[in-house]
Amino acid sequence: MTTLQIQPAARAMAIEYAIRDVVVPAMALEAQGHSILKLNIGDPIAYPGLPTPQHMVDAYAAAVQHGMNGYSPSYGLPELRTAIATDEQRKGWPATPDDIYVCHGVTEALQIIFAALLEEGDVVLAPGPHYPPYMAYPQMFGARTEEYRLDPNQGWDLDLDDIEARMSDKVRLLVLINPNNPTGNVAGSAQIDALLNIAEKWPNCIVLADEIYDGLDLSGDQVAVASRSTSVPVITMNGVSKVYFAPGWRIGWFGLHDPTGRMTLVRDAMERLLRSRLCASTPAQRGFLAGLEGDRGWMGAYIDKVRKQRDRCVERIRGIDGLEVQSPGGAFYMFIRLTDPKWANNDKEFVLRLLEEEHVLLVHGSGFSSVRGAGHVRLVYLADVNVLDDAFDRIDRFLQRHRG
């Protein structure tokens, strides 16, 4: 007899998260005693050599020890909002502490921003390919995500004509992820200015700038979107997860840059939502504060390591028949094109077979965009060079065994 199932909401059942979905078969292999080279998750702590800086850990631990275990104000600890605003001013926009709202990671910031803005029929225009929550969450509010094209042959640059063609009154948020996950492309000031010029023609539209990888810019071209805007409203997001190497703390923030005063009602809506969910983790906010206020000399060595690993991956990919890559300008991802016809239309099968046969775990590109990511795989290049070399030896062997 089948048990009657209580029906969940369709909006939840529509959610897919490719990055974690492929972990299930990997865990099954591990349970059988195999060890897996996991190059799938953008968590620096999962790889050796990139620990959370000690002074930040100490500040977090001290906060717990010294009884700072209560709720914080809903918008964040005042000291932290001030430190974030000061940091953003250095990036070139006039942030005040009141413009900064601390969340449980950028992921919570996204949920609040979408909940505050989106109505039935609205559109979020986001880069294709992109980090999956940009697709998953808007539909929960009756809105939908449309993708604009990143050019796969030009370093995944923004296709500004495509953005322009897709703009309408329905587009409430125009998203820029800079540097981008999964492609690693970095938009410089000329492209950002062009994007802002497009957005300016649509008074209903806010530019949403996800700058969570800004400190991991290897190109030198990255600039804060808000620093370029004198008229378009911009919401900036960032946090402790990537640049400060503490993703498990779940601390992020969003900041409002409202040069022409058009976000007053939106701000009110966001503040209501923030108050209703109490606050982000108090001791973790203390840890982030130590990162912002402390010496940042440690970052240089981290970036050097990431750069070295990127360069090695690009070199290895150039030597493998069946793979191609546009060298990423930032973050820590390679979005690799599968050129062999056997896999070009079959990136998920490639990932699953590679896992099964060679015990290397990547993520299928179609999980980042069914159209623009198809035929690609994403590799996280945070592992040491010798691990990356081992992975590429296995990928090469696999490709040689399975030619189309």
Tell me: does residue 147 bind ligand PLP (CB under 6 A).
no
Tell me: does residue 212 bind ligand PLP (CB under 6 A).
yes
- Characterize 222-261 residue by residue with b for buried, 16 or more Cβ atoms within 10 angstroms of its Cβ, and e for exposed: bbbbbbbbeebbbbbbbbbbbbbbbbebbbbbbbbbbeee
Q: How many Å apart are CA 151 and CA 182, to the nearest integer?
A: 13
Tell me: does residue 217 bind ligand PLP (CB under 6 A).
no
Among 26, 37, 40, 42, binds ligand PLP (CB under 6 A): 42
Minimum CB–partner distance for residue 66 and ligand PLP (Å): 25
Tell me: does residue 131 bind ligand PLP (CB under 6 A).
yes
Tell me: does residue 52 bind ligand PLP (CB under 6 A).
no
- Among the candidate windows 83-91, 101-109, 120-128, 225-233, which touches ligand PLP by CB under 6 A? 101-109
Q: How many Å apart are CA 182 and CA 41, to the nearest integer?
A: 11
Tell me: does residue 239 bind ligand PLP (CB under 6 A).
yes
Strands 144-151, 157-158: pairing is antiparallel
| Cβ(179)–Cβ(328) below 8 Å | yes
Give the contacts of 147 (CB within 8 A, at least 6 positions apart).
125, 126, 127, 128, 129, 130, 369, 371, 372
- Among the candidate windows 3-11, 99-107, 186-194, 369-377, which touches ligand PLP by CB under 6 A? 99-107
CA atoms within 13 A on the CB side of 49: 13
Q: How many Å apart are CA 365 and CA 372, to the nearest integer?
A: 8
Identity of the residue numbered 57: V
Minimum CB–partner distance for residue 247 and ligand PLP (Å): 5
Tell me: does residue 107 bind ligand PLP (CB under 6 A).
yes
Minimum CB distance to ligand PLP smaller for 336 or for 399: 336
Minimum CB distance to ligand PLP smaller for 212 or for 399: 212
**Near ligand PLP in 181-210, by CB under 6 A:** 181, 210
Q: How many Å apart are CA 110 and CA 145, to the nearest integer?
A: 13
Among 85, 106, 158, 354, binds ligand PLP (CB under 6 A): 106
Among 56, 123, 177, 243, binds ligand PLP (CB under 6 A): 177
DSSP state of 182: T
Query: Which residue is nearest to ligand PLP, using beta carbons?
Result: 105
Residues that bind ligand PLP (CB under 6 A): 42, 105-107, 131, 177, 181, 210, 212, 239, 241, 247, 252
